[in-house]
Structure 1
Amino acid sequence: MSEPSILIAIVASFVLSVLLSPLFIPMLHRLKFGQSIREEGPASHQKKSGTPTMGGVVVLLSVVLSVFLVIPFFTDLDVNYQIWLLLLVTVAFGIVGFLDDFIKVVLKRNLGLNSKQKLLAQLLVAVIFYVVLRQYEFSTAVEVPGLGFSVDIGILYLLLVAVMLVGASNAVNLTDGLDGLLAGTSAIAFGAYAVLAWNADFPEVAIFCATVVGAVLGFLVFNAHPAKVFMGDTGSLALGGAIAAVAIITKMEILLIIIGGVFVIETLSVIIQVLVYKLKGRRVFKMSPLHHHYELSGWSEWKVVVVFWLLAIVFAIIGVYIEVWAL
């Protein structure tokens, strides 16, 4: 397979996303699938109330359709078990997110699925993912990036898979709080993994990552500030689960902490905020996740998004450098 296949995957998914979005946005309007804005959020966000959400459906459709278009017709590859697993995790987490969005928007329960329901669904997908992997004698060794050695953790790999899938999906979900923030940062992270998957001889996974890049960039056309549509949990949970699955299949599990550095920072800001408030009764940040802190510090929404995109690029470069060139 040649490099143009990656470009074809990006372009195909981008075009599908750009074409599907104008069809879905009016439909979401008609169905009154508008975003409810939390009262405790930044006051400037209240004007976004009613903006269509669940736009992640467009991203999911673009990825799935592009995978089955590009791999069979533009490469000499097959839709192998790795692709099926990536699609399983992406779609399954997307369904969990869709149910969460549906409950929030249609049933008017602003918190959506409760934490136990969401966690159980995510863990079920993680267990299925692990079981299928092991059917193909998938290694339970974990490589330490940049150091050239690995440790076989045996059955504990199931715990790692569960933590990664659940943790990444929720971390990415926390990042989806400003117009275009998640679309841009996820495009960068998946772009990095596309490069690494290609370099490590996982061409099918590289194609998958490329379709995600194209899909979220196409979605960004309508999600950039001022957003005409939001991704919702449908998209954010799917993207989080997908990037964790990519990291696992390519055996670059620990590297996700670096490449997904923005998602990690956003999650840590929430954890720190909650812990310090419970222990000390005070707040470290004006609001968490971290992007809201900078908003309330006087930064424009667009400035916060661009700075976080740049930070994501730095993390992606560091991650690729460690894996590809450091040794």
Structure 2
Amino acid sequence: MKLFIICSIPFIISYALSRVVIWRSAGWGLIDLPNARSSHSVPTPRGGGIGIVSGIIAGVAVVYAAGLERFTSLAWLAALTAAMAVTGFVSDRCNSPVRLRLAAQLTMALAAVFILGRAGISWPGALIAIGIAGAVNFYNFMDGIDGLAGAQAAIGGAALAAFGFITGQSWLIFSGLIMAGAAAGFLALNVTPAKIFMGDTGSYAIGFFFACVPLLDGRLFVPVMLVMGTFLFDTIVTLALKPGRGIRWHEAHRSHFYQRAVALGYSHLQVTAAMGALTILFSAGACIYLVSQATAVKTVIVAAELSALVLCAALISKNRRGLA
């Protein structure tokens, strides 16, 4: 019952505030207008991340108010995530310049490395901060069709909770359940046809949240990457191919594998469900990776996931060429 309540409160807060954003979006300047590179055809409210982050903050507040957790880093994780969300909100509201956004992301990432990772000024710390900022943008790039980013966050949160049970860490259980609940509350309004998008407010916060978790326990680095495998693979491969297509890394486009799948005729729901199923499978593999002490088993899990992703990408590319 305790865990159910911890998951339910973020869900309710996220859903309710997302409803408020839908109602007030025009007055707040939070309307996403479709363009040639959009995957939607009608103006849609954005800023659902306000609900997600509010749900996270509420969930963490309940955990501490009830005396369920003494590990203060969970509170810092929530606070830093909220600060990153503010950066996203400014982008949603004002479409701030790319350099300004990157500077803000790197600043928050460095703060996370210093506070959560307890690392001083060093080259390794700087590289980790760059990686966190990269993860923020990766998640943002993958927020392009109805339900996809919300479902990934909900499944990823459940995976973190599972990691918490495996490692016996209550803060990890709570953080996972809170993220899963907050993401699910938003997702209820984001499934096809989406009534609201999470916007940069949500994608920045979620990408940052998952990237920062391994700072609190280094054992979680590979498992978290396995859970986020679909997003990481799609983004890294797409970015690698961008220069050859004459597209700048930060420019909007429709060349991600999930976007290509939609172009092939699959619905947003079908693509989201397929990627969600892969993420559930990869999350199970991540749990085995975390439990296993055998290097061979861990190697097989990583190789199997990478092989599955390469196969999916090859099938999409082959069908796209056939369609052309």
Match of 1:127 in 2: 110
Match of 1:115 in 2: 98
The aligned length equals 288
2:10 to 13, 20, 26: 13
Task: Name the SS of the counterpart of 2:188 in structure 1.
Answer: helix
Tell me whether 211-220 or 84-93 shows the greater mean CA deviation. Answer: 84-93
Match of 1:38 in 2: 35
Structure 1 residue 76 corresponds to structure 2 residue 68 = yes
Q: Is 1:169 aligned to residue 169 of structure 2? A: no
Change (3 A) 1:165 1:6: farther
Superposed CA deviations along residues 275-307 of structure 1, whole A, max 9, x for unmatched, are 33259xxxxxx9322211111112122111111
Judge conservation of contact 2:47–2:201 (CA < 8 Å) in 1. yes
The 5 A counterparts of 1:236-315 are 236-251=203-218, 252-278=220-246, 287-315=254-282
Query: Gaps spanning 5+ residues in structure 2: where?
Result: 248-252, 295-324
Give the Cα separation in 2 of the matches to 1:57 and 1:124.
21
Give the TM-score normalised by the residue count of structure 2: 0.82
CA distance in structure 2 between the aligned counterparts of 1:172 and 1:27, rounded to whole angstroms: 26
Q: Which residue is equivalent to 2:284?
A: 317
* Contact 1:28–1:34 (8 Å) recurs in 2: yes
Distance 1:253 1:213 in 2: 19
Give CA-to-partner distance per residue, 1:103-156, whole Å, 9 cap, x none. 1xxxxxxxx222221111111112222222465xx7x9xxxxxxxxxxxxx944
In structure 2, what is the equivalent of residue 106 of structure 1? none
Assess if the C-alpha contact under 8 Å between 1:269 and 1:290 holds in 2.
no
Distance 2:16 2:273 in 1: 25
| 1:214 counterpart = 2:214 | no
Query: Which structure's residues are more often helix, by fraction?
Result: 2
**What's the RMSD between the two structures over aligned residues?**
2.3
Q: CA deviation at 1:254?
A: 3.0
Aligned to 1:98: 89
CA contact (8 A) 1:56 1:231 kept: yes
**Distance between the aligned counterparts of 2:203 and 2:123, measured in 1?**
27
User: TM-score, normalization: structure 1?
Assistant: 0.81
Q: 2: distance between equivalents of 1:8 and 1:250?
A: 26
Matched residue, 2:49 = 56
Aligned equivalents of 2:58, 2:101: Cα separation in 1: 27
The 1:158–1:32 alpha-carbon spacing in structure 2 relative to 1, beyond 3 Å, is: closer
Over 3 Å counting, the alpha-carbon distance change for 1:186 and 1:65 in structure 2 is same
Give the Å deviation of 1:258. Answer: 1.1
Whether the 8 Å contact between 2:14 and 2:55 is mirrored in structure 1 is: yes
Higher relative CO (Cα under 8 Å, sequence separation at least 6) belongs to 1
CA–CA separation in structure 2 for the residues paired with 1:165 and 1:246: 10
Aligned-partner Cα distance in 1 for 2:21–2:171: 29
CA contact (8 A) 2:116 2:215 kept: no
% identity of equivalent residues? 25
Per the TM alignment, residue 81 of structure 1 is displaced from its structure 2 partner at its CA by 2.8
Distance 1:204 1:28, change over 3 A: same
Task: Name the CA shift for 1:23/1:219 in 2 (closer, same or farther; >3 Å).
Answer: same
CA separation of 1:128 and 1:32: change in aligned 2, threshold 3 A: closer
Residues 244-300 of structure 1 deviation map (CA, whole Å, 9 limit, x = unaligned): 111221222233321110210221242133133259xxxxxx932221111111212
Asked if the contact 2:21–2:47 (Cα under 8 Å) also holds between the matched residues in 1, the reply is no
Q: In 1, are the aligned partners of 2:14 and 2:53 still within 8 Å (CA)?
A: no
Q: Secondary structure at the match of 1:254?
A: helix
Q: Distance in 2 between matches of 1:25 and 1:207?
A: 28
Flag the 1:19–1:41 CA change in 2: closer, same or farther, 3 A.
closer
In 2, distance between residues paired with 1:163 and 1:225?
34
* Counterpart among 176, 182, 191 of residue 224 in structure 1: 191
1:183-198 to 2 correspondences below 5 Å = 183-198=150-165
Gaps of 5+ in 1: 104-111, 141-153, 280-285
* 8 Å CA contact retained: 1:161, 1:248: no
